[in-house]
Amino acid sequence: MPAAPTNSRGRVHVVALAALSAAAFVYVTSETLPVGLLPQISSDLSVSEGRTGLLLSFYALVAGGTAIPFTAWTTHLPRHHLLVAVLGVFVLSQIGAALAPSFWWLVAARLLCALGHGLFWSILAPVAARLAPAGQEGRATAIVFMGNSLALVVGLPLGTLLGQLAGWRAAFLVVGGGGALTLVALWRLLPALPGADDSGFSRDLLARVAERRLIALYVVTLAVVVGQFTAYSYIAPLVREHGGYVGTGYGILLLGYGAAGLAGIVLSARVIDVRPRLAFVLPTTTIVLALTLLGLIGRSPVLTAVAVIAWGGAFTTLPVVLQSSVLRVAPAVSDVASAVYVVAFQIGIGAGALIGGVLVDGAKLDSTPWCAAGAAVIALGVGLVGRGLFPSRHHQPGDVPNARGSAGPSDHSHPPEFRVR
């Protein structure tokens, strides 16, 4: 019967989305491990906490700088093969980090991972959209980006705990093992996803990304992420000073941060395709309020926990909202638009970690929440003033994204409907 293969194909695509989410999980866990293990790495490699935080800046610089050219050079390659290759580089980098005898060796291992990072995130959301039913690209992106939240809920807290019990090197080694398992899953589950036929990706790059709404979305992304990582990169000393959270208490607080983020992303998945503007305004406003509270309080474990958990619940939803909006605003050039989005995101991480490091080394740790809140206010203002930044659909009635991510008449390439429960 015809219905059976269709339903089976839909289930296969959902499982493939879950595998992509697992890939996002290991990437975000690895990227944020220096945040959770900042004191351990600093002590073991004999560098200051501010300098250790530069692991994020160096990583972001390379990831952002390579996202566009690597995406351009690989636009013709099958996406399923490319994702597997990038995960292979990821696994090697984690092994290198675990074996690092010095700070600069660790930096080199992180930079190897960063070389694939920009490309991975440039193609991840477009691939998820190609696996989604028509009109549910936002939900598909939410499923994949749920790996981000799970990395904060499970990956970072457990990685931090493992680092405290067995050393920070063991944490990187375990993440590398998880990456190897994810590689096998992607190799087995991803359907064939051919690259684009157009090899002139970079010739008219500026024309492709100079659309007013895309520029505004990149500005919003940059402002949000700069603020986030100005404070979040140094959350360990921040909550230690404001709430007395160290050791197990710190790990539990990170668990609360991530759990709130998971709840936020599940809720956002229900509205992101129909009310994306609201899905942006509510969490951004919450970030401003949470960071303002964190900046106002002196030493209070309870208020620190409230602020941090609200902060986590709010921020984790924003990458889903912003990435989905980029895809809807520029469906015909989804890969390049996503690549520039990744650049904006990585510049934000690097600049935020650098600003935070300067403040921390200058004995101005308490200024980081205020800087983060101010940046979120700027992002909120641009998002509210900009028109058409958060469309609910990126295609006309009767059109769905085709195999290359561009809008066109339905070719029945989408799986049947699935639901995020």
DSSP classification of residue 331: G
pLDDT of 334 above 80: no
What is each CA distance from 118 to 112, 123, 296, 336, in whole angstroms?
11, 9, 36, 12
Q: Which helix (H) or strand (E) holds 56?
A: helix 54-73
pLDDT of 49 above 80: no
As a whole number of angstroms, the distance between CA 96 and CA 265 comes to 32
pLDDT of 197 above 90: no
As a whole number of angstroms, the distance between CA 253 and CA 259 comes to 10
Give the mean model confidence (pLDDT) for residues 171-192: 90
pLDDT of 133 above 70: no
As a whole number of angstroms, the distance between CA 10 and CA 33 comes to 35
Query: What angle do the packed helices 103-131 and 3-36 form, to 10 degrees?
Result: 160
Q: What is the mean pLDDT of the chain?
A: 80
Contact of 383 with 389, CB cutoff 8 Å = yes
Give the mean model confidence (pLDDT) for residues 34-38: 82
Over the stretch 87-123, which tens digit does the pLDDT of each residue have?
999 999 999 999 999 888 999 999 999 888 888 887 8
Question: Domains, the chain, ranges and CATH?
Answer: 8-195+208-393 (1.20.1250.20)
137 — pLDDT class (breaks 50, 70, 90): low
Query: What angle do the packed helices 156-166 and 3-36 form, to 10 degrees?
Result: 50
What is each CA distance from 240 to 45, 89, 177, 251, in whole angstroms?
21, 35, 31, 12
Give the mean model confidence (pLDDT) for residues 300-310: 92
- The residue that leads in pLDDT, 140 or 44, is 44
State the pLDDT at residue 205: 57
Over the stretch 393-408, which tens digit does the pLDDT of each residue have?
544 333 333 333 333 3
pLDDT of 240 above 60: yes
pLDDT of 420 above 60: no
Q: 0.85 cut: is pTM over it?
A: no
Query: Which stretch, 167-176, 333-342, 408-417, has highest mean pLDDT?
Result: 167-176
State the pLDDT at residue 11: 55
Gyration radius from the chain CA atoms: 20
State the pLDDT at residue 414: 42
pLDDT of 66 above 90: no
156 — pLDDT class (breaks 50, 70, 90): confident
CB atoms within 10 A of CB 115: 18
As a whole number of angstroms, the distance between CA 268 and CA 283 comes to 10
Start-to-end CA distance of the chain, whole Å, equals: 28
Token representation of residue 285:
């406003």
Q: What is the Cα 343 distance to its own chain's centre? A: 12
Contact of 403 with 314, CB cutoff 8 Å = no
- The residue that leads in pLDDT, 419 or 26, is 26
pLDDT of 190 above 90: no
59 — pLDDT class (breaks 50, 70, 90): confident
pLDDT of 304 above 50: yes
Q: Which letter, b or e, does each residue of 310-344 get, where b requires 16 or more Cβ atoms within 10 Å of its Cβ?
A: bbbbbbbbbbbbbbbbbbbbbbebbbbbbbbbbbb
Q: What angle do CA 93, 99, 100 make, to 5 degrees?
A: 85
Of 57-61, 167-171, 289-293, the one with minimum mean pLDDT is: 57-61
Of 221-230, 347-356, 365-374, the one with minimum mean pLDDT is: 347-356
List helix spans (H) across 103-246: 103-131, 137-150, 156-166, 168-189, 205-209, 212-232, 235-243
Token representation of residue 158:
């457990």
What is each CA distance from 40 to 286, 311, 328, in whole angstroms?
31, 25, 42
Q: Report the percentage of the chain scoring pLDDT > 70.
A: 83
323 — pLDDT class (breaks 50, 70, 90): confident
Query: Which stretch, 6-15, 22-31, 124-133, 137-146, has highest mean pLDDT?
Result: 22-31
Three-state SS at 403: coil
State the pLDDT at residue 208: 63
pLDDT of 310 above 50: yes
Give the mean model confidence (pLDDT) for residues 228-239: 88
What is each CA distance from 332 to 39, 169, 401, 404, in whole angstroms?
45, 43, 8, 8
16 — pLDDT class (breaks 50, 70, 90): confident
